[in-house]
């Protein structure tokens, strides 16, 4: 519309717009002629805080008031305290003196090289006791203005009228019950419907430069989180994706939602100005809906390293008690710190002391922690795995293990079982072998069972529980083609014993992907196996299909277990893109995209149906599915109809084009003949293909054959 207006106006003034290079026009400074820049909303939304350049200055108050003679001594003391924290600029320490009484005024300014140092100094020395009557009050110079502006009178906060928000779960009401996914390729991030019936994705929303590093769905699928230099943001909405909340955290690198998506944990690490100092780590926990910081953690990288390994493993905070988001915990040196979200402080105000704890994990549903402690004192004290109830911190069960080299814990998704993979040294201590300790959490006294593979020396390549089920799969073996075994925690009539279901020999697989609904599993050969896929039905113990997505790097089931996506991401240069398969291994469609970075299904919240109701549906599945089958057929009829129509159109179009050409070609016939010296024109068959048979005599030899006449 605006364009039309401009053109109209230009015509009025007699200007030919097409002759003007729009890029060459320069507006007078400060004048925008009412044209809004695309970036304008940036300026409008945040009152950009200008960098005053004083971010590296702090004010230290509550200093002793000293006469001039002692001035230098006090200055020396302060300098000594504050130069330990960071580099004070030359002449960066200024202590004003009251000329009337010739005494200091009891405060000073310190200027550091960097704002980070200033911040650190404030953190470390605020409340520092010089002596009993002089406790430092340290604040940032920049904050001072803010403090001065606090009105003396309290004014009641304005109550804003309630405005109903959008339905953030609109996508669940899709009539065709489709699922969404997000992809990142090149600079674009795109959310699409997986329209398996139409055998193609349907775009929902697309934005270039939506995020600066990656995107992440919240665990229930309500939000899509993006990561930027200034912080993180979440997006969502009924029909499209609007920015809902922003979480300021400069240089944020990693984010993590709590399982009930109430909280967002953000992480950043900063290079210290002094290379000898450890990296500084900042972690913020935000309330997702309000955007308020609930708690922040600051410290050096070492403070957050798990089990004393020195490396920070993400997520640092692990959330417990399922979707309640009630507890979160992190591991430190010989401690596990468990926080509760009501107060965002440690339970009982102290961490759980566990000597030398190496690893921990929460039950996915209950407030139970599983801890692993390695052997101590050269084997005098055995390694152990223990289950601890929170918040009582009571030990529910413990198992001692001997000559252990490593342990890995795997929870079943309902928290019914815990499998501990134990690598043990052989007697000679030269090699290790693997066994499993299986805990039945929901049974009385939590019985433990030991499972060893038939061939004890097999390496375990992968382990995976069936979601919501009682079975698990293991890839084991030493050779290039390992075996895959399936076990069940129930056997026949005895529900208390683990039993093997089957072993598949010699599979090209190194990763396991159970359907989220259980029953089906993909045995995948990624990396060295070039993307071999085997779709296996564990109920029937049969292979449904084998396929290959060449070079596949990622596999993800959709949240309903109906479809699977396999993707080749930009770790490979070639083949970038993704395939969508049905659960039984039929390739539905294939999209190629260069520089493909990420594929992620939008999660769904858990079903609201009761287990009884679900069972009822499963029983009457045939009846229910009739309606959908009819719909499917309609769609496929429509599709093939559309397809035929499209093809017919294309063919007609082409025929029209060709006939037009032929006519012109005919008109030019004479001219063409002249060009080629009157030789009768081109396409006519003025020569005949003749088959020439050439017989070549290669060799002649004579042989005398004898015949036996027999009557």
Scanning residues 393 to 412, which ones bind other proteins (CB under 8 A)? none
- The interface region with other proteins, picked from 345-353, 449-457, 519-527, 654-662 by CB under 8 A, is 654-662
Query: Is the CB of 146 or the CB of 647 nearer to other proteins?
Result: 647
- Which residues 6+ apart lie within 8 Å of 231 measured at CB? 246, 247, 248, 249, 250, 252, 266
Q: How far is the CB of 595 from other proteins (least distance, A)?
A: 13
Scanning residues 249 to 308, which ones bind other proteins (CB under 8 A)? none
Query: Is the CB of 491 or the CB of 673 nearer to other proteins?
Result: 673
Q: How far is the CB of 665 from other proteins (least distance, A)?
A: 7
Among 687, 700, 705, 709, binds other proteins (CB under 8 A): 687
Q: How far is the CB of 536 from other proteins (least distance, A)?
A: 24
Q: How far is the CB of 149 from other proteins (least distance, A)?
A: 55
337 neighbors 325 (Cβ within 8 angstroms)? no
Q: How far is the CB of 693 from other proteins (least distance, A)?
A: 12
Q: Which helix (H) or strand (E) holds 496?
A: none
Report the alpha-carbon distance of residue 461 to residue 109 in Å, rounded: 60
Report the alpha-carbon distance of residue 308 to residue 355 in Å, rounded: 12
Q: How far is the CB of 692 from other proteins (least distance, A)?
A: 10
Query: Is the CB of 45 or the CB of 573 nearer to other proteins?
Result: 573
**Could you please report the per-residue DSSP string of 516-562?**
TTSSEEEEEE-GGG-SEEEEEETTTTEEEEEEE-TT--EEEE-TTSS
Query: Is the CB of 271 or the CB of 573 nearer to other proteins?
Result: 573
> Residue count at the site for other proteins (CB under 8 A)?
27
263 neighbors 245 (Cβ within 8 angstroms)? no
Query: Is the CB of 490 or the CB of 660 nearer to other proteins?
Result: 660
Q: How far is the CB of 554 from other proteins (least distance, A)?
A: 18
- The interface region with other proteins, picked from 277-285, 383-391, 609-617, 680-688 by CB under 8 A, is 680-688
Helix 621-667 × helix 611-619 angle, to 10°: 60
3-state secondary structure of 212: coil
Vertex 594 angle, CA 592 and 600, to 5°? 70
Q: How far is the CB of 297 from other proteins (least distance, A)?
A: 44
- The interface region with other proteins, picked from 14-22, 152-160, 251-259, 653-661 by CB under 8 A, is 653-661
Which residues are 281's β-sheet partners?
269, 299
Scanning residues 593 to 652, which ones bind other proteins (CB under 8 A)? 647, 650-651
Query: Is the CB of 183 or the CB of 305 nearer to other proteins?
Result: 183
Query: Is the CB of 185 or the CB of 191 nearer to other proteins?
Result: 185
3-state secondary structure of 509: coil
Report the alpha-carbon distance of residue 98 to residue 263 in Å, rounded: 50
Q: How far is the CB of 596 from other proteins (least distance, A)?
A: 13
Which residues are 138's β-sheet partners?
60
181 neighbors 601 (Cβ within 8 angstroms)? yes
Tally of CB atoms within 10 A around 556:
17
Structure tokens at 90: 């030359």
Which of left, alpha, beta for 186 (phi over 0: left; psi -120 to 50: alpha)?
Answer: left
Among 345, 426, 455, 530, binds other proteins (CB under 8 A): 530
Q: Does 697 bind other proteins (CB under 8 A)?
A: no
Report the alpha-carbon distance of residue 472 to residue 486 in Å, rounded: 6
- The interface region with other proteins, picked from 169-177, 384-392, 435-443, 682-690 by CB under 8 A, is 682-690
- The interface region with other proteins, picked from 44-52, 85-93, 167-175, 681-689 by CB under 8 A, is 681-689
Per-residue x/- marks for other proteins, 192-211, CB under 8 A? Answer: --------------------
320 neighbors 367 (Cβ within 8 angstroms)? yes
3-state secondary structure of 75: helix
Query: Is the CB of 376 or the CB of 675 nearer to other proteins?
Result: 675
Q: How far is the CB of 15 from other proteins (least distance, A)?
A: 26
Q: What does the radius of gyration of the chain's CA atoms come to, in whole angstroms?
A: 36
Query: Is the CB of 442 or the CB of 672 nearer to other proteins?
Result: 672
Report the alpha-carbon distance of residue 355 to residue 595 in Å, rounded: 47
Query: Is the CB of 69 or the CB of 691 nearer to other proteins?
Result: 691
Of the chain, the end-to-end C-alpha distance in Å amounts to 109
Report the alpha-carbon distance of residue 526 to residue 548 in Å, rounded: 10
Strands (E), 288-382: 293-300, 318-320, 327-332, 335-340, 345-346, 352-353, 359-362, 368-373
Q: How far is the CB of 672 from other proteins (least distance, A)?
A: 6
Please state whether the peptide bond connecting residue 344 to the residue before it is cis, i.e. omega within 30 degrees of 0.
Answer: no
Selection from 299, 298, 381, 295 nearest residue 345 by Cα: 295
Q: How far is the CB of 585 from other proteins (least distance, A)?
A: 20
Q: How far is the CB of 640 from other proteins (least distance, A)?
A: 13
Placement of tokens 């152990």 in the chain: 384
Query: Is the CB of 689 or the CB of 705 nearer to other proteins?
Result: 689
What's CA 20's distance to the chain center, in Å?
A: 47
Scanning residues 544 to 603, which ones bind other proteins (CB under 8 A)? 550-551, 573-575, 592
**Could you please report the per-residue DSSP string of 649-700?**
HHHHHHHHHHHHHHHHHHHTHHHHHHHTTT---SSS--S-------------
Which residues are 112's β-sheet partners?
88
Scanning residues 34 to 73, which ones bind other proteins (CB under 8 A)? none
Query: Is the CB of 2 or the CB of 574 nearer to other proteins?
Result: 574
Q: How far is the CB of 571 from other proteins (least distance, A)?
A: 13
Please state whether the peptide bond connecting residue 315 to the residue before it is cis, i.e. omega within 30 degrees of 0.
Answer: yes
Query: Is the CB of 687 or the CB of 709 nearer to other proteins?
Result: 687
Which residues are 522's β-sheet partners?
513, 535
Per-residue x/- marks for other proteins, 658-677, CB under 8 A? Answer: x--x--xx--x--xx--xxx
Strands (E), 350-403: 352-353, 359-362, 368-373, 383-389, 394-401
Per-residue x/- marks for other proteins, 73-92, CB under 8 A? Answer: --------------------
Selection from 273, 229, 275 nearest residue 251 by Cα: 229
Per-residue x/- marks for other proteins, 417-456, CB under 8 A? Answer: ----------------------------------------
Query: Is the CB of 48 or the CB of 664 nearer to other proteins?
Result: 664
Among 146, 240, 654, 656, binds other proteins (CB under 8 A): 654
Q: How far is the CB of 651 from other proteins (least distance, A)?
A: 6
Query: Is the CB of 187 or the CB of 676 nearer to other proteins?
Result: 676
Q: How far is the CB of 654 from other proteins (least distance, A)?
A: 5
Q: How far is the CB of 188 from other proteins (least distance, A)?
A: 16
Among 683, 703, 708, 710, binds other proteins (CB under 8 A): 683
Query: Is the CB of 188 or the CB of 423 nearer to other proteins?
Result: 188
Q: How far is the CB of 649 from other proteins (least distance, A)?
A: 10
Could you list the residues that contact other proteins (CB under 8 A)? Answer: 530, 550-551, 573-575, 592, 647, 650-651, 654, 657-658, 661, 664-665, 668, 671-672, 675-677, 679, 682-683, 687, 689
């Amino acid at each position: 519309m605006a364009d039309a207006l401009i053109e109209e106006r230009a015509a009025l003034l007699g200007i030919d717009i097409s002759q003007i290079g729009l890029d060459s026009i320069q507006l007078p400074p400060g004048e925008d002629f009412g044209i809004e820049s695309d970036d304008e909303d940036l300026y409008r939304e945040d009152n950009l805080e200008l960098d005053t350049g004083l971010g590296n200055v702090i004010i230290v108050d509550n200093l002793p008031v000293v006469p001039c003679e002692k001035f230098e001594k006090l200055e020396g003391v302060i300098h000594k305290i504050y130069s330990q924290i960071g580099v004070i600029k030359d002449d960066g320490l200024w202590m004003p003196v009251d000329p009337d009484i010739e005494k200091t005024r009891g405060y000073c300014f310190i200027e550091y090289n960097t704002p980070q140092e200033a911040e650190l100094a404030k953190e470390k020395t605020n409340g520092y006791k010089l002596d009993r009557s002089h406790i430092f009050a340290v604040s940032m110079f920049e904050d001072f203005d803010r403090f001065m502006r606090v009105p003396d009178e309290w004014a009641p906060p304005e109550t804003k009228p309630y405005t109903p928000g959008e339905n953030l779960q609109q996508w669940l009401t899709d009539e065709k019950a489709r699922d969404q996914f997000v992809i990142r390729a090149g600079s674009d991030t795109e959310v699409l419907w997986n329209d398996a019936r139409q055998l193609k994705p349907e775009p929902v929303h697309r934005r270039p430069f939506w995020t600066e590093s990656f995107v992440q769905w919240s665990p229930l699928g309500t939000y899509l989180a993006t990561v930027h230099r200034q912080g993180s943001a979440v997006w969502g909405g009924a029909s499209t994706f609007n920015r809902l909340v922003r979480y300021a955290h400069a240089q944020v690198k990693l984010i993590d939602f709590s399982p009930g998506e109430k909280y967002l944990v953000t992480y950043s690490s900063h290079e210290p100005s002094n290379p000898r100092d450890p990296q500084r780590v900042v972690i913020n926990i935000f309330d997702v809906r309000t955007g308020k910081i609930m708690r922040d953690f600051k410290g050096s990288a070492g403070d957050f390293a798990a089990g004393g390994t020195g490396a920070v493993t993400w997520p640092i905070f692990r959330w417990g008690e399922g979707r309640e988001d009630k507890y979160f915990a992190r591991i430190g040196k010989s401690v596990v710190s468990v926080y509760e979200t009501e107060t965002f402080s440690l339970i009982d105000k102290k961490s759980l002391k566990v000597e030398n704890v190496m690893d921990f994990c929460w039950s996915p549903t209950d407030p139970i922690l599983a801890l692993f402690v390695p052997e101590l004192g050269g084997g005098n004290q055995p390694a152990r795995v223990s289950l601890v109830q929170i918040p009582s911190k009571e030990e529910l069960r413990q198992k001692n293990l001997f000559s252990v080299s490593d342990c890995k814990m795997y929870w079943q998704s309902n928290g019914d079982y815990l499998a501990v993979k134990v690598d043990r040294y052989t007697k000679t201590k030269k090699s290790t072998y693997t066994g499993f300790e299986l805990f039945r959490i929901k049974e009385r006294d939590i019985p433990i069972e030991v499972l060893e593979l038939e061939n004890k020396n097999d390496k375990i390549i992968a382990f995976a529980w069936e979601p919501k089920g009682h079975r698990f799969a293991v890839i084991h073996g030493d050779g290039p083609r390992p075996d895959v075994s399936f076990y069940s925690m129930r056997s026949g009539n005895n529900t208390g014993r683990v039993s093997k279901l089957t072993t598949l020999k010699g599979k090209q697989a190194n990763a396991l992907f159970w359907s989220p609904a259980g029953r089906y599993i993909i045995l995948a050969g990624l990396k060295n196996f070039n993307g071999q896929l085997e779709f296996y039905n564990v109920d029937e113990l049969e292979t449904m299909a084998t396929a290959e997505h060449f070079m596949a790097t990622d596999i993800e089931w959709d949240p309903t277990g109906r479809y699977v996506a396999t993707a080749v991401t930009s770790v490979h240069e070639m083949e970038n893109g993704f395939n969508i398969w049905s659960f039984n291994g039929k390739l539905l469609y294939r999209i190629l995209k260069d520089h493909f970075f990420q594929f992620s299904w939008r999660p769904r919240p858990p079903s609201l149906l009761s287990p009884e109701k679900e069972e009822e549906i499963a029983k009457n599945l045939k009846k229910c599915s009739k309606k959908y089958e009819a719909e499917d057929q309609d769609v496929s009829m429509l599709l093939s109809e559309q397809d035929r129509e499209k093809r017919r159109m294309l063919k007609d179009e082409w025929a029209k084009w060709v006939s037009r050409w032929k006519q012109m070609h005919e008109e030019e016939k004479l001219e063409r003949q002249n060009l080629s010296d009157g030789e009768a024109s081109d396409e006519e068959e003025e020569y005949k293909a003749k088959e020439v048979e050439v017989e070549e005599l290669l060799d002649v030899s004579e042989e005398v054959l004898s015949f036996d006449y027999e009557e």
